[in-house]
């Protein structure tokens, strides 16, 4: 089970570069938009296991990606921890009450909210070919905490950064609670059929170096260690978006099996600075995939060549954009599949 993607994440270089895309199951696909219109809101779709499984499988059927990424959201963890979660049309997620004072202990946990996610995994893994990898994921504690504290997304994560400075003990207790919930959640995904997991730290880039060590590296290291101990052999991909020059330290200190690289990082630099032999994932700019043209083909080749000497999973630097033309994705897949380093 798992195929070339899983083997690459385990540190083996195959005869080609595997490919999957962050947010590959989503709004750029007409079949997704049709199903979403039938089901209503995003959360209703994500918690409807047969529908969420169908969405997870749609890009596999269309493009033949090497991995299927679970269709869900990082905010199911705060929802299971007791916050109310809903999505405002055109504005994004909302969580209540906001935890600006760090008082998360008053929340009443609702772990059963995660049961549909595990069922989605079971349904999807049963429907996948054996050579496809079932990928699970969760948000990393820092990124999840930014939403829990502010009650919504923000440009600079100011409320959460300020709380972490003002009352580090209170913030540490929230991070610890997220860690525990995340470990249980990922183990539940693995037991349902997930073969590799990704930790998304989408807002890691907003932190100063000492805060990055405390709230990004340390929590992800603890999660990774617990997962490795509890479920040996399941690769963990760490994706600290925006980490820049701090990326090598993250790769060395967290214990992750593979590291995701965003589009702001030169892949030639990453190939030189990351630990030798460590699998790397990335890092095409999603906006270049949207724009297309000759620059797209040139950049795809540059990334492939930069990472040619280490295990490499081709991916984007972040999630695929809603308005990305299908033919651009087809070009990407064909070029990656046809490349031999």
The 10s digit of each residue's pLDDT in 92-136 is 899 999 998 777 888 999 999 999 999 999 999 999 999 999 999
- Can you give the pLDDT at residue 244? 96
Which residues lie below 8 Å from residue 73, measured CB to CB, with a gap of 6+? Answer: 42, 43, 46, 93
- Domains of the chain with bracketed CATH: 3-338 (3.20.20.210)
Q: Which of 28, 32, 66, 73 is catalytic?
A: 73
Q: Which residues of the chain have pLDDT under 70?
A: none
- Can you give the pLDDT at residue 2? 78
Q: Which of 23, 125, 161, 222 is catalytic?
A: 23
Q: C-alpha dihedral over 74, 76, 81, 84, to 10 degrees?
A: 110
Phi then psi for 41, rounded to 5 degrees? -75, 165
Please say whether the beta carbons of 97 and 152 come within 8 A. Answer: no
Q: Which of 10, 13, 27, 62 is catalytic?
A: 27
DSSP per residue over 73-123, as a string? Answer: -TTHHHHHHT-EEEEETTTEEEEES--TT--GGGSPP-GGGGHHHHHHHHH
Q: Which of 28, 32, 36, 310 is catalytic?
A: 36
DSSP per residue over 217-259, as a string? Answer: IHHHHHHHHHHHHHSTT--EEEEETT-GGGHHHHHHHH--SEE
- Can you give the pLDDT at residue 234? 98
Cα 280 off chain centre by: 14
- Can you give the pLDDT at residue 236? 98
Which residues lie below 8 Å from residue 14, measured CB to CB, with a gap of 6+? Answer: 4, 7, 8
Q: pLDDT (tens digit, 9 = 90+) per residue, 230-252?
A: 999 999 999 999 999 999 999 99
Q: Which of 47, 147, 185, 250 is catalytic?
A: 147
- Residue 13 is among the residues annotated as catalytic for this protein: no
- Residue 16 is among the residues annotated as catalytic for this protein: no
Q: In what order do the strands lie in the sheet with 258-261?
A: 67-69, 133-139, 196-201, 236-240, 258-261, 280-284, 312-316
- Residue 73 is among the residues annotated as catalytic for this protein: yes
- Residue 23 is among the residues annotated as catalytic for this protein: yes
- Can you give the pLDDT at residue 100? 84
């Amino acid at each position: 089970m798992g195929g070339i993607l899983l083997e690459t994440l385990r540190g083996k270089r195959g005869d080609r570069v595997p490919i999957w895309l962050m947010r590959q199951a989503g709004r750029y696909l007409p079949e997704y938009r049709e199903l979403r219109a039938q089901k209503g809101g995003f959360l209703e779709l994500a918690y409807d296991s047969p529908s969420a499984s169908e969405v997870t499988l749609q890009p596999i059927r269309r493009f033949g990606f090497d991995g299927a990424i679970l269709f869900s959201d990082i905010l199911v963890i705060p929802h299971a921890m007791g916050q109310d979660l809903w999505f405002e049309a055109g504005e994004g997620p909302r969580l209540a009450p906001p935890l600006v004072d760090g008082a998360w202990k008053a929340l009443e946990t609702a772990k059963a909210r995660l049961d549909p996610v595990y069922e989605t995994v079971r349904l999807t893994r049963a429907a996948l070919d054996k050579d496809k990898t079932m990928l699970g994921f969760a948000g990393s504690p820092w990124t999840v905490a930014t939403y829990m504290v502010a009650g919504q997304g923000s440009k600079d994560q100011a409320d959460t950064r300020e709380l972490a400075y003002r009352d580090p003990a209170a913030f540490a207790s929230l991070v610890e609670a997220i860690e525990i919930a995340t470990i249980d959640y990922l183990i539940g995904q693995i037991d349902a059929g997930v073969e590799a997991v990704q930790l998304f730290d989408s807002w890691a880039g907003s932190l100063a170096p000492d805060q990055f060590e405390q709230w990004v590296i340390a929590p992800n290291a603890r999660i990774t260690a617990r997962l490795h101990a509890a479920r040996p052999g399941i690769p963990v991909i760490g994706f600290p978006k925006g980490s820049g020059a701090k990326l090598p330290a993250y790769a060395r200190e967290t214990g992750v099996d593979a590291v995701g690289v965003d589009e702001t990082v030169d892949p030639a630099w990453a190939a030189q600075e990351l630990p030798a032999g460590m699998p790397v994932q990335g890092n095409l700019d999603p906006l270049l995939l949207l724009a297309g043209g000759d620059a797209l083909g040139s950049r795809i080749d540059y990334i492939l060549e930069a990472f040619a000497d280490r295990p490499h999973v081709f991916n984007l630097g972040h999630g695929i954009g809603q308005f990305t033309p299908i033919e651009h994705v087809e070009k990407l897949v064909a070029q990656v599949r046809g490349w031999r380093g």
